[in-house]
């Protein structure tokens, strides 16, 4: 988060003199208390300053990057997940390839007749199947997919940063967001490397600290 000159000055004053009242900060800057109110509100909300009634403002001791880290660590999967694209186990590799183009995704999730997760198909899984001499129309995806229980998943209340770590550790591009159902996992969303890129850009452009 980018601070204005005046906000930087306020932090310095509070660092040196805190706890200090808003009135006294205003005096030191030769401004009115009312003029400072928005700045004090921003600095308090962002976590740089803390305010105690009848005592005044004091410096929390947290740096901008510490506050940014704290903020990022609160991002939950459900806030950022996108719609999952699924195919049935019996779908052909040809259909899966068409689906991948049509839906413009890099990972498809495979489900059984009860809509429970049974596998994952990546671009390279489909490429690998395509360079053989097989009839892609007759080859069902369950033959070539990565299957349960070897699927790495996440849940809606997981932290985005933990989902990102799983993708790095397993060297994969996406995770299904799943919901526990009586006899399997229902696919309710997806988190991909693109999601993480979006979060990163949003942090910079929207100053979401
Ligand atoms: P690509 O193969 O196109 O580079 P990935 O890196 O995502 O894409 O996939 C690598 C391998 O890992 C593929 O065989 C794929 O089936 C498998 N895979 C992808 N996502 C998952 C996941 N969430 N859990 C388990 N395996 C996965």
Q: Summarize pLDDT for 162-188 with one digit per residue, the tens.
A: 999 999 999 999 999 999 999 999 999
Q: How far, in Å, are 95, 108, 156 from residue 101 at the CA level?
A: 10, 11, 27
204 burial (CB, 10 Å; 0-12 / 13-18 / 19+) is exposed
Location of structure tokens 């040196």: 16
pTM of the model: 0.79
150 burial (CB, 10 Å; 0-12 / 13-18 / 19+) is exposed
Give the phi and the psi of residue 160 in degrees, each rounded to 5: -60, -40
Average pLDDT of the residues in 54-74: 85
Long-range contact pairs involving 4-12 (C-beta distance under 8 Å, separation at least 24)? 4/39, 6/39, 7/39, 7/42, 7/43, 10/36, 10/39, 10/40, 10/43, 10/49, 11/43, 11/48, 11/49, 11/59
Residues whose beta carbon lies within 6 Å of some atom of ligand 1? 107, 120, 122-125, 146, 150-152, 171-175
Q: Which of 119, 146, 151, 192 to mutate to test the pocket of ligand 1 (most atoms within 8 A of CB)?
A: 146
209 burial (CB, 10 Å; 0-12 / 13-18 / 19+) is middle
Question: What is the pLDDT confidence band of residue 209, given thresholds at 50, 70 and 90?
Answer: very low
pLDDT score of 135 more than 80: yes
pLDDT score of 108 more than 70: yes
Percent of the chain with pLDDT strictly greater than 70: 98
Q: Which of 81, 164, 172 to mutate to test the pocket of ligand 1 (most atoms within 8 A of CB)?
A: 172
Percent of the chain with pLDDT strictly greater than 90: 80
- Detail the DSSP E strand segments found in the chain: 49-52, 56-59, 86-88, 107-111, 117-122, 146-147, 174-181, 184-192
Among the residue ranges 63-67, 135-139, 165-169, the one predicted with the least confidence is: 63-67
Write the residue with the smallest CA distance to atom 19 of ligand 1: 172
Average pLDDT of the residues in 21-43: 94
Could you tell me the distance, in angstroms and rounded to a whole number, from the CA of residue 115 to the centre of ligand 1?
Answer: 20
Question: What is the pLDDT confidence band of residue 206, given thresholds at 50, 70 and 90?
Answer: low
């Amino acid at each position: 988060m980018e601070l204005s000159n005046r906000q930087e000055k306020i932090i310095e004053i509070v660092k040196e003199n805190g706890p200090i009242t808003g009135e006294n900060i205003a005096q030191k800057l030769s401004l009115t208390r009312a003029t400072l109110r928005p700045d004090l509100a921003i600095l308090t909300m962002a976590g740089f300053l803390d305010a105690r009634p009848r005592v005044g403002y004091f410096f929390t001791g947290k740096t901008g990057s510490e506050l940014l880290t704290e903020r990022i660590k609160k991002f939950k999967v459900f806030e950022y997940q996108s719609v999952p694209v699924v195919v049935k186990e019996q779908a052909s590799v040809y259909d899966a390839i068409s689906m991948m183009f049509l839906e413009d995704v890099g990972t498809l999730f495979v489900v059984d007749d009860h809509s429970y997760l049974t596998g994952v198909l990546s671009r390279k899984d489909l490429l690998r199947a395509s360079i053989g001499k097989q009839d892609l129309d007759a080859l069902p995806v369950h033959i070539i997919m990565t299957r349960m229980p070897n699927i790495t998943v996440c849940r809606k209340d997981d932290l985005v940063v933990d989902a990102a770590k799983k993708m790095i550790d397993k060297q994969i591009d996406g995770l299904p967001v799943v919901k526990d159902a009586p006899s399997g996992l229902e696919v309710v969303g997806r988190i991909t490397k693109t999601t993480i890129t979006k979060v990163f850009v949003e942090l910079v452009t929207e100053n979401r600290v």
